[in-house]
Amino acid sequence: MNANAKRTRPELDRHPNYYFEDGNIILAFDHDNIMFRLYRGLLAHHSQVFYDMLSLPQVQQPLNPIPAMSQLSLSGLGSPQPSRSGSRSGTATPRVDPTSHQEVIEAGVPVIRLTDRARDFTCLLDVIMGITPEQPSMDTIEGALRISGKYMFDGVRMWATAHIKKRLPTTLEDLMADPSLSVYGDRTLAARVVALAREFELGELVPLALYAIVAYNFSDPPIPSSPLFTPLNSPLSATLMIPTTPEQQQPQQAVWQPNVNPIQNPHFLHQQQHPPSEGGGGAIDPLGPSLTALSVIHHTLPDADSIRVRIGAQRIHDAAISYLFQLREYGLMKISCSRKVGQYQRTCAAGNVHAVWSRPQPPMAEFIRNPLGVMAVEGKAYDYSTMCGDCNAAGQAKHIELVANLFGRLPEIFMLSDVMVAP
């Protein structure tokens, strides 16, 4: 038996950016087969958990001096000094036991073995080192948020929270600026945001994220995923695929793992599978892009929020129908205006839906499905050439009033008793 066969752990690759030869602490991610060699002072300076972990007697031994890099602080956030006497509030992730990860290897360099994803820790270090792009992707934000919440890197958590709130809509002003909620793309990000908000107590993100799912027309031609992140190889695809080659049968490292087990989620949309072909390969009935997005959404949403989507959709439709009776262009409001409009002096079309649209069914269906989006657009530019100026002005004002009313009702509609929406 050779020396390699006696090893209890495989050799780990060095991280290409975060393995410093003079580092005095090693973080080993066995699952990803990679290790970081960093500076104790850098980790302890930014993290209460690492401060406690590295202060334990069993890892106190002669180590390399900590270079000036350990004094780096988060750009724009100051130097977060952790409280040395106790834990800090503000994170939904349970605190890590500092005694559960330690092991000492040769040359007196301590190694800490972590079960987190190396990619997430890389995102966190990028933030600490100040090398993240000005507009970081959702993957970077989520990775940094996940690690900072678990290990109490408070400055990084502040950075991630500030970015996610800045990039995603939470207020009526945000909705008016982007009535289609295009930031959520095919709505898979909306489900991801809801799950993330539940994990990290970011409740203000939830109402419009749930509304974005409810109001999206999945029967329309598909649109790309959100511009906030590059489409990932979701573990959903691995769940639905039949392996056809030995390579496909090997477990693959997923970049992002939804929090919900698809088997436990009653709304998960399974893909129909064909039996293997004569050649031994497997095949599946491909879902269309819209159905694939629906599958990912229901796979990702926490169970309670899947129920909120179903009930909220019905409540949104009920509210929209009630609003139709207050708007002049849909023909359900009892109004008659005798003013003359245009060069041909036709009677104002307020209250006469067939004089406003040649085919009124599509705009009505759109309004019932997405009343906030329609009213936000009409609130900014309400101008029907077949209506008089007074009716156009009154119609625009009514849309502004109703969009604010419905937006304020979103927590009630989606049964979010602990969430208040900002005007």
Per-residue pLDDT tens for 150-169? 999 999 999 999 999 988 99
Categorize the per-residue pLDDT at 246 as very low, low, confident or very high, splitting at 50, 70 and 90: very low
pLDDT digits (tens, 9 = 90+) for 340-361: 888 778 888 888 888 787 888 8
Greater confidence (208 vs 182) lies with 208
Name the 3-class secondary structure at 398: helix
* Residue appearing with tokens 């977060």: 80
Percent of the chain with pLDDT over 70: 68
Q: Please report the pLDDT score of residue 344 as a whole number.
A: 79
Q: Please report the pLDDT score of residue 375 as a whole number.
A: 93
Integer Cα distance of 74 and 225 in angstroms:
30
pLDDT at 189 over 70: yes
Q: Please report the pLDDT score of residue 293 as a whole number.
A: 82
Q: Please report the pLDDT score of residue 108 as a whole number.
A: 73
For 260-289, b where at least 16 C-beta lie within 10 A, e where not — what string? bebeebebbbebeeeeeeeeeeeeeeebee
Contact 284, 273 (CB under 8 A): yes
Categorize the per-residue pLDDT at 218 as very low, low, confident or very high, splitting at 50, 70 and 90: confident
Torsion angles phi and psi, residue 201, rounded to 5:
55, 50
Q: Please report the pLDDT score of residue 255 as a whole number.
A: 33
Q: How far is residue 256 from each of residues 119, 143, 233, 316, measured CA to CA in Å?
A: 10, 9, 8, 31
* Residue appearing with tokens 């009892």: 334
Greater confidence (388 vs 221) lies with 388
User: Strands 102-104 and 25-29, how do they pair?
Assistant: unpaired
Q: Please report the pLDDT score of residue 98 as a whole number.
A: 46
**Averaged pLDDT for residues 192-218:** 93
Categorize the per-residue pLDDT at 235 as very low, low, confident or very high, splitting at 50, 70 and 90: very low
Q: How far is residue 222 from each of residues 13, 209, 289, 309, 394, measured CA to CA in Å?
A: 40, 18, 6, 20, 35
| Average pLDDT taken over every residue of the chain | 75
Looking at residue 250, the DSSP 8-state letter turns out to be S
Categorize the per-residue pLDDT at 268 as very low, low, confident or very high, splitting at 50, 70 and 90: very low
Contact 303, 264 (CB under 8 A): yes
**Averaged pLDDT for residues 116-130:** 94
Answer whether 0.75 is exceeded by the pTM.
no
pLDDT digits (tens, 9 = 90+) for 282-338: 444 355 666 778 888 988 999 999 999 999 999 999 999 999 998 888 878 788 788
Average the pLDDT over each of 44-48, 134-138, 173-177, 271-275 and give the range with the smallest value: 271-275
pLDDT digits (tens, 9 = 90+) for 373-401: 999 998 888 888 888 889 889 889 999 99
Alpha helices in 261-388 (DSSP H): 289-300, 303-324, 353-356, 361-369, 371-380
Average the pLDDT over each of 74-83, 90-99, 108-117, 261-270 and give the range with the smallest value: 261-270
Greater confidence (116 vs 294) lies with 116
Integer Cα distance of 53 and 57 in angstroms:
10
Name the 3-class secondary structure at 174: helix
Strands ordered across the beta sheet of 34-38: 13-19, 34-38, 25-29, 110-113, 102-104
Integer Cα distance of 27 and 347 in angstroms:
77
Greater confidence (243 vs 367) lies with 367
Greater confidence (23 vs 355) lies with 23
Report long-range pairs for 230-233 (Cβ below 8 Å, ≥24 apart): 230/137, 230/139, 232/139, 232/256
Q: How far is residue 138 from each of residues 113, 207, 236, 273, measured CA to CA in Å?
A: 26, 19, 19, 32
Q: Please report the pLDDT score of residue 328 as a whole number.
A: 84
Looking at residue 251, the DSSP 8-state letter turns out to be -
Integer Cα distance of 207 and 276 in angstroms:
44
User: Strands 273-274 and 283-284, how do they pair?
Assistant: antiparallel
Looking at residue 17, the DSSP 8-state letter turns out to be E
Integer Cα distance of 319 and 305 in angstroms:
20
Q: Please report the pLDDT score of residue 343 as a whole number.
A: 77
Average the pLDDT over each of 155-164, 272-281, 413-422 and give the range with the smallest value: 272-281
Categorize the per-residue pLDDT at 368 as very low, low, confident or very high, splitting at 50, 70 and 90: very high
**Averaged pLDDT for residues 110-118:** 90
Contact 292, 233 (CB under 8 A): no
For 152-178, b where at least 16 C-beta lie within 10 A, e where not — what string? bbbbbbbbbbebbeebbbbebeebbee
Name the 3-class secondary structure at 390: helix
